[in-house]
């Protein structure tokens, strides 16, 4: 199933490098607005570090709030990268081609954003330098490797490193194209980045081997990163509804759900912004939509299982948290309403929108479904983490709810601006749709006569 025409290589270069060689009129205004939001949040973080976490809405009971929710959300988004490039590459899915780099770059930027969150969330962020960058095993000062909070940076930094390598290796042939088409100091930079790429068979062979190897090596990271993030919660014995063994697969599938949705939305935006109608085609969005139905249904299964496992034990405290989550509350925030909204916009609404083929090919409907999934997945994390803490545990005297205050809201909003800004800036410097990958797909494509129909198919020898 491949549509669209085979374009000449020169036109592919011209179209896909347009974002780099020409500046669209909207570019700098949009980047400036995003930059202003990021600046405001940076100042807020400064104020927060200066005066303390008192300016947030956290209290003695709910000590992990918006920041941790946002951390898990962005880690989740980052899972699109491996899913689309590594797994689909190994599975030889042809329709992955235009999406891979956007997904990997989104991975890198969302990981970077995610890592800011737990650091600014701590009481004394400047002290984190002692343990995360890098953790001081050698001198054995405080060698406590038991907490999941130490596994987190290890897993995330591994993921960040391997994703960056992945993107760089895939970029080398495109750097060479850019090197040949630029002048002045950009040419010098691209020359260095291209690392002497000439496009001879040996280089291609090594590049492909490196790509496949990295795909295979990145697969364990795909499972481990979000599992480890989920253990931040799963390992906590004292908070009911967190202490669950199903968290690791549940989080991983949820991460793919939100991550792939985010990539679809980013691709639709890029297609519209840079006029890449010939490259990011309806067939690609369609295929991603079908993948998303499967992922979403897997995620829904784990959601239901998580709730069933929670209720199954019939422990009073666990049931109290579940009651707080699902039943009309007598206390402050109506978590049950949010719960219905969250399940609706994360599973039922988008899956209904993805089911008809015509709707999958309608970019407006796809965008709406993907935004809805991501709003829902953000809510999911919030509803997983906060009611467990807000619930009256065994002994505490008071119930405590949590209402975020403006610094948290602003910083969370700014993370979205930050990632968008980085993506836009990246698209100005590097091609966001891999040139060589598109060309490779076109070369491998052949027409096949089956009965009376002519179909396009891809043949390759392995």
Partner 1 sequence: MPNAQFEHKWGMVADLDKCTGCQACVIACQAENNIPINTKDYFLQRRAYEWIRIERYWEGEYPNVKARFMPVLCQHCENAPCEPVCPVFATYHNEEGLNVQVYNRCVGTRYCINNCPYQVRMFNFWHPNWPARMENQLNPDVTVRSRGITEKCTFCVQRIRRGELQVEARDGNRLNDETISGGNYDPACVQACPTNALMFGDLQDSNAAIKPYFDDVNAHPGHGEHDRETRGYRLLEEMNTRPSVIYLKKIDKYPLEAGH
CA–CA–CA angle 214, 97, 196 (5° rounding): 60
Q: Is the peptide bond before 134 cis (omega within 30 degrees of 0)?
A: yes
Q: How many residues bind partner 1 (CB under 8 A)?
A: 42
For 448, other C-beta atoms within 10 Å of its C-beta total 11
Min dist. Cβ of residue 380 to partner 1 (A): 19
Alpha carbons 100 and 82: distance in angstroms, whole number? 9
Please identify, using beta-carbon distances, which residue of 240 and 271 lies nearer to partner 1: 240
List C-alpha distances in Å: 138 to 130, 134, 145, 150, 313.
12, 10, 13, 15, 44
Of 58 and 108, which CB lies nearer to partner 1 in the complex structure? 58
Among 5, 10, 25, 60, binds partner 1 (CB under 8 A): 60
Burial code (b: 16+ CB inside 10 Å, e: under 16) for 407-418 equals: bbebbbebbbbb
User: Which tokens in the block code for residue 124?
Assistant: 């004394």
Window contacting partner 1 (CB under 8 A); options: 50-58, 208-216, 289-297, 432-440: 50-58
Binding mask 9-48 for partner 1 (x = CB under 8 A): ----------------------------------------
Segment contacting partner 1 (CB under 8 A): 59-67, 172-180, 363-371, 424-432? 59-67
Strand-pair partners of 453: 450
Beta carbon nearer to partner 1, 147 or 196? 147
To the nearest whole angstrom, how small is the minimum distance from the Cβ of residue 231 to partner 1? Answer: 10
Query: Is 230 near partner 1 (CB under 8 A)?
Result: no
Instruction: State which of residues 4, 35, 131, 322 lies at the interface with partner 1 (CB under 8 A).
Output: 131
Taking only Cα atoms into account, the Rg of the chain, rounded to an integer number of angstroms, comes to: 23
Question: Cβ of residue 114: shortest distance to partner 1, in angstroms?
Answer: 16
Q: Which has the closest alpha carbon to 258: 61, 94, 103, 87?
A: 103
The CA distance from 46 to 450, in Å, is: 65
Among 6, 9, 31, 61, binds partner 1 (CB under 8 A): 61
Nearest approach in angstroms of CB 287 to partner 1 is 41
Those residues whose C-beta lies under 8 Å from the C-beta of residue 386, and which sit 6 or more positions away, are 62, 65, 69, 402
Q: Does 316 bind partner 1 (CB under 8 A)?
A: no
Residue 449 near partner 1 by CB under 8 A: no
Compute the distance between CA of residue 128 and CA of residue 131 in angstroms, rounded to an integer: 6
The Cα-based distances of 347 to 277, 342, 360, 368 in angstroms read 29, 8, 15, 13
Q: Does 205 interact with partner 1 (rule: CB under 8 A)? A: no
Give 242's DSSP letter.
T
Work out whether 63 is an interface residue with partner 1 (CB under 8 A). Answer: yes
Q: Which is nearer to partner 1, 54 or 451 (CB)?
A: 54
Among 7, 31, 35, 148, the residue binding partner 1 under the rule CB under 8 A is 148
Binding mask 384-423 for partner 1 (x = CB under 8 A): -----x---xxxxxx-x-----------------------
* Cβ at position 457, least distance to partner 1 in Å: 53
Per DSSP, the residues of 45-89 read: HHHHHHH-GGGSS--SS--S-HHHHHHHHHHHHHHHHIIIIIIHH
The residue from 237, 314, 358, 450 that contacts partner 1 (CB under 8 A) is 237
User: Cβ 158 to partner 1, closest distance in Å?
Assistant: 17
Least distance from C-beta 75 to partner 1, angstroms? 17
Q: Are 408 and 56 in contact (CB under 8 A)?
A: yes
Q: Which residues bind partner 1 (CB under 8 A)?
A: 52-54, 58-61, 63-64, 118, 121-125, 127-128, 130-131, 142-144, 146-150, 232, 235-239, 242, 389, 393-398, 400
């Amino acid at each position: 199933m491949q549509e669209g025409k085979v374009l000449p290589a020169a036109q592919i270069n011209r179209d896909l490098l347009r974002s780099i060689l020409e500046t669209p009129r909207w570019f700098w205004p949009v980047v400036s607005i995003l930059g202003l939001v990021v600046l405001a949040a940076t100042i807020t973080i400064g104020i927060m570090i200066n005066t303390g976490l008192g300016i947030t809405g956290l209290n003695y009971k709910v000590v992990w709030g918006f920041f941790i929710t946002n951390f898990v959300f962005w880690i989740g988004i980052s899972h699109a990268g491996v899913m689309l490039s590594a797994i689909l590459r190994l599975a030889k899915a042809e329709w992955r081609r235009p999406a891979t780099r956007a997904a990997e770059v989104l991975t890198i930027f969302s990981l970077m954003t995610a890592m800011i969150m737990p650091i600014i969330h701590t009481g004394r962020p400047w002290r984190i330098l002692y343990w995360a960058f890098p953790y001081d095993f050698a001198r054995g000062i405080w060698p406590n490797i038991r907490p999941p909070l130490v596994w987190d940076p290890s897993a995330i930094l591994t993921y960040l490193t391997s994703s960056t390598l992945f993107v760089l290796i895939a970029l080398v042939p495109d750097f060479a194209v850019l090197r040949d088409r630029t002048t002045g100091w950009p040419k010098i930079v691209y020359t260095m980045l291209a690392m002497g790429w000439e496009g001879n068979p040996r280089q291609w062979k090594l590049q492909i081997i490196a790509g496949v190897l990295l795909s295979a090596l990145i697969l364990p990271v795909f499972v481990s990163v979000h599992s480890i993030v989920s253990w931040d919660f799963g390992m906590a014995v004292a908070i009911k509804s967190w202490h669950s063994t199903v968290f690791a697969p549940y989080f991983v599938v949820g991460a793919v759900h939100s991550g792939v949705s985010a990539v679809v939305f980013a691709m639709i935006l890029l297609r519209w912004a840079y006029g890449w109608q010939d490259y990011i085609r309806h067939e690609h969005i369609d295929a991603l939509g079908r993948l998303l139905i499967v992922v979403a249904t897997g995620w829904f299964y784990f959601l239901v299982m998580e709730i069933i496992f929670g209720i199954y034990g019939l422990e009073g405290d666990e049931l109290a948290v579940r009651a707080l989550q699902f039943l009309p509350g007598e206390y402050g925030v109506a978590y049950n309403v949010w719960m219905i909204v969250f399940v609706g916009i994360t599973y039922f609404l988008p899956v209904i929108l993805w089911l008809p083929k015509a709707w999958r090919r309608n970019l407006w409907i796809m965008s709406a479904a993907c935004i809805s999934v991501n709003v829902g997945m953000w809510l999911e994390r919030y509803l997983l983490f906060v009611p467990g803490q807000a619930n009256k545990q065994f002994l505490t005297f008071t119930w405590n709810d949590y209402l975020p205050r403006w610094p948290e809201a602003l910083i969370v909003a700014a993370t979205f601006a930050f990632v968008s800004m980085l993506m836009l800036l990246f698209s100005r410097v590097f091609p966001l749709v891999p040139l060589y990958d598109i060309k490779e797909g076109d070369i491998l494509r052949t027409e096949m006569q089956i009965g009376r129909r002519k179909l396009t198919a891809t043949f390759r020898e392995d």
